[in-house]
Structure 1
Amino acid sequence: MPQIAARAILVAVATLFVSAAPPAWAQGSGPLAALVDALAERLAIAEPVAAYKWRAHAFIEDPVRVEQELTTLREDAATEHVDPDYIARVFGDQIAATEAIEYQRFADWKLDPAAVPPAPADLGAARATIDALNTKILSQISLNWSLLNSPACADSLQSARDQVTRSRGLDNLYRRALTAATASYCPAQPPA
């Protein structure tokens, strides 16, 4: 029972952290900026997760956790009246981009073991934050569903990527990860 209470507290704290965190994009930014900013925030969670996995000698890829996340997100998408296959695709891209960041960190630390940051004791807090950010991202997708399925999507998405990249000062790795994570956001539009 104490473990359940501790997890509930972690989820509550993570939710507060995510909802209270100031957005990196300025007011007056494009309509997809909040979505892309939440995604960038989600990608940043790769850092403590990679440190934990490095120190625990754990695998980067966790297919069981991925399947749990995607199943939950598909169910949540149906509740939000958003295509569950679309959600599985975009979150699959996000997970692959996050894993790419973790692989890069492992490569960096293999070459410079002294650069490994302290790791969290476990992944409980990171997973609670991930779950809260996934909810935030799904909510933003639902809110912007019409735009994401319109011809204006690609330009709006690129504008949001540029805004978030500048405001968060993303390096090359995170710019590439952000592009990969948003690759399926705009379904292909039929030729005019």
Structure 2
Amino acid sequence: MSPRIVSTLASLALGLALLLAPVAAAQPQNPLLPLVDAAAERLQIADPVAAAKLHDGGLIQDPVREQQVLDTVAEEARTHRIDPAYVTTAFRNQIDATVAVEYARLAGWKLDPATAPADAPDLAASRATIDALNREMVAEMAGQWPALHAPSCRTDLSVATDAVAQARGLDDLYRQALGFATRSYCP
């Protein structure tokens, strides 16, 4: 990952922590906040992945890689003793949201080549980060299983999504993608 991307991600994490500190002091921690934040962080990797694919001519959709991710998270779900079907549905939504962001970024760069990234980030490094976030997200799903199935889930999810979107400074595309990625969290 380029130093600029690492610096941007570090700044976003610090901003999120600073924004949420007063909220955390004023009210009980939203149980879904860490999960939604990890989902947003994973989504934001769409930009460097799209840039890598722009430069190497790779296809946006990679059914083999997507199935590997789904198989891996299903196995992680079994390890955590939670429903693999729930987890794979959530990750299918996450993948589809990421693919949509990648297509949007490539379309934007095609229409305005001056905005396209000059360098190609390392796709393997982005995928390693995605894999780590996948494990974190499944662990959060397991840890927050009761909250994800509670009557307050939709309210907690809405509040967490708004807080994360604001803290990370998500644009309209990323806000929409985050809503799509998390849409099946509350069954």
In which range does the TM-score fall when normalised by the shorter chain?
Answer: 0.7 to 0.9
> Where does structure 2 lack aligned partners over 5 or more consecutive residues?
1-5
Residues 63, 159 of structure 1: alpha-carbon distance in 2 compared, 3 angstrom cutoff: same
Partner of 2:97: 97
Instruction: Give TM-score scaled by structure 1 length.
Output: 0.83
Two-structure CA RMSD over aligned residues (Å): 1.8
Residues 122-173 of structure 1: per-residue CA shift (max 9 Å, x gap) = 3110011000111111111111001101111100000100111111111100
Q: 2:132 aligned with 1:144, yes or no?
A: no
Shift of 1:67: 0.4
Q: Would you say the 8 A contact 1:23–1:34 is kept in 2?
A: no
Q: Which amino acid aligns with 1:95?
A: I
Q: Would you say the 8 A contact 2:48–2:121 is kept in 1?
A: no
Partner of 1:130: 130
Q: Would you say the 8 A contact 1:23–1:37 is kept in 2?
A: no
> Where does structure 1 lack aligned partners over 5 or more consecutive residues?
1-13, 188-192
Q: Which amino acid aligns with 2:56?
A: A
Partner of 2:160: 160
Q: How many residues align?
A: 170
Identity across aligned pairs (percent)?
Answer: 49
Q: Would you say the 8 A contact 1:55–1:119 is kept in 2?
A: yes
Question: Any idea what SS the aligned residue of 1:24 has?
Answer: helix
Q: Would you say the 8 A contact 2:55–2:120 is kept in 1?
A: no
Shift of 1:175: 0.4
Q: Distance in 2 between matches of 1:171 and 1:137?
A: 22
Q: Distance in 1 between matches of 2:43 and 2:37?
A: 10
Q: Which amino acid aligns with 1:151?
A: P
